[in-house]
Structure 1
Amino acid sequence: MRSASSISLPWLDKIREDVALLAMRLDQDVDASFFAPLEALYAEGDALTRRYCGKPLAKCRVLEIGYGTRPMRMLWLWHQGVDVHGVDLDYPLLRFSPARLFRMARTNGLERALKSAVRYLALDRRQYRAMRDALVERKILTPDVSFWGNFADRLAVRNAADPAYWAEAGRFDFIYSVDVFEHIPKPQVDAMVKAMAGALNPNGVALIRPDLFTGISGSHLPEWYKERLGEKFVRKAQPWDHLRANRYPANSYLNQMRLAEYEEIFDRYLSIAEKAPIDYGLGREYLTPEVRAELKDYSEDELLTNNIDYVLTAKS
């Protein structure tokens, strides 16, 4: 079962991109700023379920679509007492062992297993350890309680576009997905949203946050990630190179969907109750008159929106 985020590129190009991304992550301290996005997701989910479901997140049945090989968001919610479940094509590497790596290689391929092994040893185990310490410090977890418990039982390695998965998964009050939909082929996005609509409880709500292809970071090149936009260094790719010459294709599959395409699919099966761009305007300083003229087929909203929150509810 090939990872939905994989793509065929020369090995040297893959290694360069993977090393650049890992180096960027290693530069980040595992401090309060690391946990801020996890806390923000909990707070946003709690606000949405109170508003639409009439109950707090901790009383809801929750699903994450696309937890990845390191399900940090799910793990954080689970330790807060949330009944959270997840589905992803990729087998997760929660703890390092040859048996787990072998299973990952069989499930998603040798490349995915090697990348995950390197990242686990260099980064993931440090972040898991920091999460455990933070939970103990906040008295959410006691030192004598297992950090992992039965958490692995909540992780389904399945295709979220497969109706058979949803038939077995049951219904949910809250479904969320962060930076995942852009890696899924458009026909499967359609199938997945249709299945989501059938799996939401009557007052349920979904939060879908795609990383938009048309934004300056939509190329998924680490040098254009928002964490590095303010840095001054010589970049190999021009701003919005992926919409222009596309000299440096991404090291992952991207469906290249635009805002209108997402909204057409969402509106086909669900109601768009709210939508809010995140960090709108990223890259504005690089949108010179010359670049804007070259990208005249794209609206300014498309070029300056990198992430957007879609809040979806059942059709009335």
Structure 2
Amino acid sequence: MRAVSRPGRAGCVRHWKGYHVKAVMAGQPIPLHQKAKSWIETYKHHRRAATGHVGNDISYHLELIGHLNRYVGVNVSSARILDLGCGQKAVQTALFHADGATVSGIDAEIATFSFGPRTFLRALASHGPERAFKSLARHILFDGAYTRDLFEKYGKPASYDGIDVRVMDATAMAFDDATFDLVSSKAVLEHINDVPAALREVNRVLKPGGIAIINAHLFSSLSGGHCLAWADPDRSPPQNVAPWDHLRENRHPPGVYLNRMKLPEYRAAFDAALCVVDEAVVLEGERHLLKDIEIELAAKGYTREDLLTREVRFIARKRQ
């Protein structure tokens, strides 16, 4: 994977100091044997990631702090921060809390970093038995080791004690206008069914002078179908799943809602709601894009940029 930067938009000053998630199956109901394969792949993925992602998560967190200092000029310990789509482990929320920030994490799913009987019953009622038991299994088998390693390596006293995590719709946030110095979100936007509405809310809750740092994982990319076998295509490509299967025969349909937005659609949505000052993309999968695949998918309306862009990151200011 490699990153490529793009300039800010016309009409926005570029500064050089440097969700409503639907937990539904995409398409047709998934047969039991495919679900079993998915569970196995999920187990393998979480086993690899139990501690392997800690370094990446800390590096990403430090990047966010650097952007906060560069663009807003506010020390993290005095910042008001929103972690949009914080996830069940609320990793960035916990790290910002350790930094002394006033941070809120929101997600459509119930946080499971503390998975007692009450949390399990809430998850069962909200997401159904399959999701609830998968979350419980992941919490027991993997999450404890991950968070212990994360907190030990971060270098500051960190814990989940007293953190503010809420179940909330990203398209209708329960926060006052101009609340946050920083709104951050990573690999969440692709799960939101009304991205323009969510971005309008981000603009509303940002303080004047605040910054939004938002990454989206693009559906049309090689890993964008959320098939875990293709999670890291440039390092460990699978032998049993065709490249871009989700755009072709779709034999391994995603088990989560994906909005299928393309990069130009994200750019248009950000430009309409916020003032973009920086954009960067991460590319992947070029060696897997054989000519016959490119021709096949071009006939379906996918450009080379669509197919090779894994991720886009926007840094944006409040549009007055």
TM bucket normalised to smaller: 0.7 to 0.9
Match among 36, 41, 52 for residue 20 of structure 1: 41
8 A Cα contact 2:191 2:258, kept in partner: yes
Gaps in structure 2 of 5+ consecutive residues: 1-19
CA distance in 2, matches of 1:273, 1:166: 24
Match among 286, 290, 302 for residue 284 of structure 1: 286
Q: How does 1:15-164 map to 2 (within 5 A)?
A: 15-28=36-49, 30=51, 34-135=53-154, 138=155, 140-141=156-157, 147-151=159-163, 154-163=164-173
CA apart distance, 1:3 = 5.4
CA apart distance, 1:259 = 0.6
In structure 2, give the amino acid aligned to 1:313. R
Higher relative contact order (CA 8 A, sep 6+): 2
Equivalent residue of 1:273, what SS? strand
In structure 2, give the amino acid aligned to 1:172. F
Gaps in structure 1 of 5+ consecutive residues: none
Q: Does 1:195 align with 2:201?
A: yes
Aligned to 1:305: 309
CA apart distance, 1:120 = 0.6
In structure 1, give the amino acid aligned to 2:82. L
CA distance in 1, matches of 2:88, 2:33: 23
CA distance in 2, matches of 1:193, 1:293: 34
Aligned to 2:251: 247
Counting helix residues as a fraction of each chain, which structure ranks higher?
Answer: 1
8 A Cα contact 1:62 1:82, kept in partner: yes
Aligned to 2:211: 205
What TM-score does the superposition give when structure 2 sets the normalisation length?
0.85
Q: Deviations over 1:49-86 (max 9, x none)?
A: 22221223333111011112111222122212222211
Match among 231, 236, 239 for residue 231 of structure 1: 236
Aligned residues: 296
Which deviates more from structure 2 when the two are superposed, residues 39-48 or residues 80-89?
A: 39-48
- CA 1:91/1:222 → structure 2, altered by over 3 Å: closer, same or farther? same
CA distance in 1, matches of 2:88, 2:132: 10
Match among 175, 184, 187 for residue 166 of structure 1: 175
Q: Percent identity among equivalent residues?
A: 26
CA apart distance, 1:191 = 1.1
In structure 2, give the amino acid aligned to 1:77. F
Aligned to 2:188: 180
8 A Cα contact 2:230 2:238, kept in partner: no
Equivalent residue of 2:217, what SS? coil
Q: Deviations over 1:111-168 (max 9, x none)?
A: 2211100101110111122233335xx3x22xxxx833212xx1111111125x234x
Q: Does 1:6 align with 2:29?
A: no
Which structure 1 residue ranges, 4+ long, deviate > 4 Å from structure 2? none
Which deviates more from structure 2 when the two are superposed, residues 19-28 or residues 252-261?
A: 19-28
CA apart distance, 1:224 = 0.8
